[in-house]
Amino acid sequence: MSVMVFACALAPAAKGLQQTSPVEQNATAWKKLAPAEGGFMVLMPGTASEEKHSVETSVGKLENRIYSVETKQGVYMVMYADFPEVVSDADTIQRMLDNGRDKALANTKGKLTSEKNIKLDGYAGREWLVEIPGSNVIRARAFWVKRRLYQSLVIFPEGRNTPQETNRIRESATLKFLDSFALSDGTTAN
């Protein structure tokens, strides 16, 4: 079974970012996103737009729901897709996450600079840090929850020539977003 983890959304969103001043770290600007059918909750740095895209995969056509906010700082995205069947085998999930990572790197011509296995409420996941040379940095997390693949990611301009304070604020906002992602339907793997 082949899966394209975070690859379908990376390239288009990443092209328009420019080096800019940091986004205002105003607590009132962050908004809770909890779509009723999504089964998740996350804090976004503004009001999210919603898109639906159909993606052809080896298991058939999947509908990918994408919620995104673009700021001067970067693009914040959460997406999910439901697969035809529940996948619970740990080795299969890891292979699917590996395959998605490899396709995303190929599509963006990015370099994987960090990767680690993570969990959310007992569900397997992965976190990546990808650098697209001369362009953007992507920090992404993906979780496999029964038959649904959740992905959250932030795309921001590379920070080589960015003031240290801007990079610190950017990292803080990225972690606030990624760490706020939670399942909202009470589902656990145990």
DSSP character string of 19-30: --PPPP--GGG-
Q: From 129, 79, 77, select the one nearest 104 (Cα to Cα).
A: 129
pLDDT of residue 43: 98
Quick one: CA dihedral 48, 128, 183, 94, positive or negative? positive
Q: Would you say residue 184 has pLDDT above 70?
A: yes
* Pair 165, 149: CB distance under 8 Å: no
Q: Which two tokens stand for residue 56?
A: 């052809």
In angstroms, rounded to a whole number, what is the distance separating the alpha carbons of residues 130 and 111? 5
- Residue percentage of the chain with pLDDT more than 70: 82
Banded pLDDT at 128 (limits 50, 70, 90):
very high
Rg (the chain; Cα; Å)? 16
The DSSP H or E segment spanning 77 is strand 75-82
